[in-house]
Amino acid sequence: MASRQFLSFLFKSVLLGIIVAVLMLFLVPDLRQGGGFAENVFSGAHDSSDRISYQDAVNRAGPAVVNIYSVSIENDVGFYRNRPRERTSLGSGVIMTESGYILTNNHVVQNADSIVVAVQDGQILEAQIVGYDPYTDLAVLKIKGDNLHAIPQTENPDVAVGDMVMAIGNPFDLGQTVTHGIVSRAGRTGLSNFVDFIQTDAVLNQGNSGGALVDSNGVLVGITNANFQVRDGRNGVRNVDGINFAVPYELARRVMDEIVTDGRVTRGQLGFIGREIINRSGVEVTAVAKQSPAAEAGLRRGDIILAIDDTKLESAAKTLDMIAETKPGTQLKLQISRNGELLDMNVTVTELGG
């Protein structure tokens, strides 16, 4: 009797072992392929191909990001002395063309008496300012060097909220440094845009200004500009962690092309501000500047602009962009709705700041 119980127990144990082995073979493919269970499971080793890395993106974009050192001579004015003092500014820049055009922030090179650019391959080059745009805080430099690496670019990077981006620059003169974050606002790209930049939590520190914001493929999506600041009543102005900005690539490239071609950026204006109307096409005029082209043409607060040169208006932002991109001196025809009455109005574009 005891032997029968033993044999029954032994049979059940063997059967259970076979079932467990089959399940293990089914659940752990490495066991079926001779992948080395002890090596892969117990040793904790992993295939490096499973690792997420942006090495290729950094290798494509990194050589085009340069360090910029600008020097200006200032005078310390005192009662008994007037001594010159050297002031050095630190920043970053992006090589946009193999011929040596560089985009950076205007505040990095503003009032500089000399500018030196350090390229990642070791070249130390003198740079000249081609021009600048105070509205976007961008400046274009020109260098002459050998085998300059232009950063990867595409006509429309199509940046979207939630995209992963990397900021490449030279914070605190530590050398090229890469940080990453998420886009929380894509930003507008028209010439009337002065403040609506790309917003990201990629870390920016002193020296990052003018560097590259690239996507996960290493393609340029923006020129890093600044971090968000608030005024503290007791401690003055302080930075806010996790809120940083970059000029969208399309806008930065447009500004650079105009500076290279004409030496400056020209923007048109009519002198009004507008907003969209809910459930209706057109732009409602909310303010008209005195002695502006819009005021001289008779445009009033509360008017609804339905179309410009027979182009129907849907967005106030796009309308201002369209006007900003119109050559000063151009006459435009506005189609207006005023208290239910339709009016046509001719107005001449003037230069912003002109």
> Which residues have a catalytic role annotated?
107, 137, 209
Determine how many CB atoms are found less than 10 A away from the CB of residue 118.
18
The conformation of residue 38, written as its DSSP 8-state character, comes to I
**Quick one: tokens of 33?**
């392929």
Joined together, the tokens standing for residue 3 give 């032997």
d(CA 286, CA 317): 13
* Strand positions, DSSP E, 56-190: 65-77, 82-95, 101-105, 114-118, 124-126, 128-133, 138-142, 164-169, 177-185
Q: How far apart are CA 61 and CA 93, in angstroms?
A: 12
Strand 138-142 with 128-133, pairing: antiparallel
Q: Which residues are within 8 A (CB) of 24 and not within 5 positions of it... i.e. 6 or more apart?
A: 31
Q: In what order do the strands lie in the sheet with 82-95?
A: 124-126, 114-118, 65-77, 82-95, 101-105, 138-142, 128-133
Give the whole-angstrom CA distance, residue 151 versus residue 170.
16
Residue pointed to by tokens 């340029």: 220
Spatial distance between the Cα atoms of 238 and 100, rounded to a whole number of angstroms:
36
- Can you say how many angstroms the Cα of residue 20 is from the centroid of all Cα atoms in its chain? 55
With tokens 């909310």, the residue in question is 286
Q: Which residue stretches of the chain are H helix?
A: 2-27, 29-32, 37, 55-61, 106-109, 249-262, 293-297, 316-324
Phi, psi of 200 (to 5 degrees): -145, 160
Sort 13 into a burial class: Cβ within 10 Å, 0-12 / 13-18 / 19+.
exposed
